[in-house]
Amino acid sequence: MTVCQLDQAVLAWMAEGDRVAAVPPDATLAETRAGYRRACRHFAAPRPAGLATDDRVLAGVPCRIYRPARAGGSCILWFHGGGWVLGDLDTHDSLVADLADAAGCVAVAVDYRLAPEHPFPAAFEDALAVFRQLRDASPLPGVDRILVAGDSAGGNLAAAVAQACRDLGEPGPTGQLLVYPALSADTELRSRIEMAQAPGLTTADMHHFLETYLGRAPGPADLADARLFPGDAADLSGLPPAFLTGAEYDPLACDVLTHAARLRGAGVPVEAVIEAGLPHAWLRARHHAPPAAAAFARLVGAARRMAAQPRAAPGPERPAQPPSAALARPGGWPEPA
């Protein structure tokens, strides 16, 4: 087992989160969700000054719109993490508010249906439906670019929406912001094995969330379903530019690296970084640990760059870009061939 060398501030943040979110070993789903909400609320920061919010229903799905004091013509469509089982508009409110304000973008957070009450593909269907409404009948005047984004399970949904639009021949998002996303069914990825007992998320946790999302163990048809495992799609060409960020101490680290390498090989502009010394869910530590604050700043920078890019006109496929200066693989993670 790999030894995790965590920053003292990160360790303190994790210990405090465990304390606040603690539930009995035999906790019900309702108790687990309540513990998750407590931890999210505990680490939340006040909303930035001048930022306005508006709760609305878009395509039948509850959403929250964030309008910073200064915003351009881009919208960040955010799908929250929580294994498709936990989370809501309030658990990720502080995060989305901070990102919208720092990136200078309108943001929309999506309260998609959760499993097990609503198994796959309910969350994906909600995510795609909200994207389509923003694209085709947007309530946001002046917004002409949509970046799909999300953390963990939300990153999975963002990538799946981008691929679905391409596969259906529909106009897709302008860019993808994928934060420690769950993308692949490959249980032999190196980080799935070496970080099986990582702090914050274990490989066993991942299996539990996936089976809860599906309502059963995954079968052969599930493994081939790009709505569920967008990183395993046979063809990744023609997708929008992507920024992927992961954590060194996370079973999902190689999801980031493998997907970035395959996107690059398919001619998709991509930046990727594995944040050194951080565990899964580091976004919540951005106000509490300097390494997480620096990682969040890199995410904000990527959002700003994507927001400044005009929507690409139809035409020849864009050539692959070389790895960006931000690409890092601490902990010995190799970039897949």
The residues carrying an active-site annotation are: 152, 250, 280
Concatenating the DSSP letter of every residue in 284-301 gives GGTTT-HHHHHHHHHHHH
Per the document, the length of the chain is 337
Element (H, E) at 177: strand 175-179
| Residue 72 CB neighbour total at 10 angstroms | 17
Q: How many CA atoms lie within 13 A of 108 on its CB side?
A: 28
Concatenating the DSSP letter of every residue in 244-284 gives EEEEEESTTHHHHHHHHHHHHHTT--EEEEEEEEEETTGGG
Query: In angstroms, rounded to a whole number, what is the distance separating the alpha carbons of residues 74 and 227?
Result: 25
End-to-end CA distance of the chain: 25
Element (H, E) at 121: none
The H-assigned helical ranges of the chain are 8-21, 29-43, 93-103, 122-136, 153-168, 190-194, 203-214, 220-223, 253-265, 290-308
- Integer-rounded Cα Rg, in Å, for the chain is 18
| Residue 132 CB neighbour total at 10 angstroms | 17
Query: In angstroms, rounded to a whole number, what is the distance separating the alpha carbons of residues 164 and 159?
Result: 9
Q: What angle do CA 232, 89, 134 make, to 5 degrees?
A: 65
Q: Which tokens belong to 122?
A: 């309910």
